[in-house]
Amino acid sequence: MDRFRYTYPVRQHFGKGCAEEAIKEEMARTGRNVLLAYGGGSLKRTGLYDRITGWLRECGKTVTDFGGIMPNPTYAKVQEGARLVRENDIDFILAVGGGSVIDCCKIASSTATCILTPGCCRKFTRDEIAGILEECM
């Protein structure tokens, strides 16, 4: 394998009370269509969902809902996200939640333009992985 460098710039905002400011700051840089991704029902139970969608609409955004992302999301859930990105011409993905939500969105984003057919992916054996890593060194 040839050597290469891959850069994927990401801005993440952390801390109590940063949500409104962060969302409005990021929305100034994006297109119109936003995918709002989240896990279980706590986002809606706490009222944060309504606040976030309100802020997005204040910024003139169209919001597509992508909820129910479970811990260790399944391939099917990732593909659901990719399908939503394609079908709704998504410009920006807002992942609200923990690592599983963020990871699901990263893969959904990167595969949204790829058409993967059932059976095209497979698990690699330990020896195959070792061989791939050896090629990278």
Position 67 scores a pLDDT of 97
Position 136 scores a pLDDT of 76
pTM above 0.85, yes or no: no
**CA 59/CA 55 separation, integer angstroms:** 6
| Tokens encoding 82 | 């990719």
Spell out the residues 6+ positions from residue 62 whose beta carbon is closer than 8 angstroms to its own. Answer: 32, 33, 34, 88
Q: Yes or no: is domain 19-136 CATH 3.50.50.60?
A: no
**CA 26/CA 130 separation, integer angstroms:** 40
Q: Is 92 in contact with 26 (CB distance < 8 Å)?
A: yes
3-state percent breakdown (helix, strand, coil) of the chain, nearest 5: 45, 10, 45
Q: Pick from 60, 114, 48: which is nearest to 91 by CA?
A: 60
pLDDT in tens, the chain (137 residues): 677 777 777 777 788 888 888 899 889 989 999 999 999 889 999 999 999 999 999 999 999 999 999 999 999 999 999 999 999 999 999 999 899 999 999 999 988 877 666 666 677 788 888 887 888 77
Position 32 scores a pLDDT of 97
Position 39 scores a pLDDT of 96
**CA 51/CA 20 separation, integer angstroms:** 8
Task: Give domain limits for the chain.
Answer: 19-136
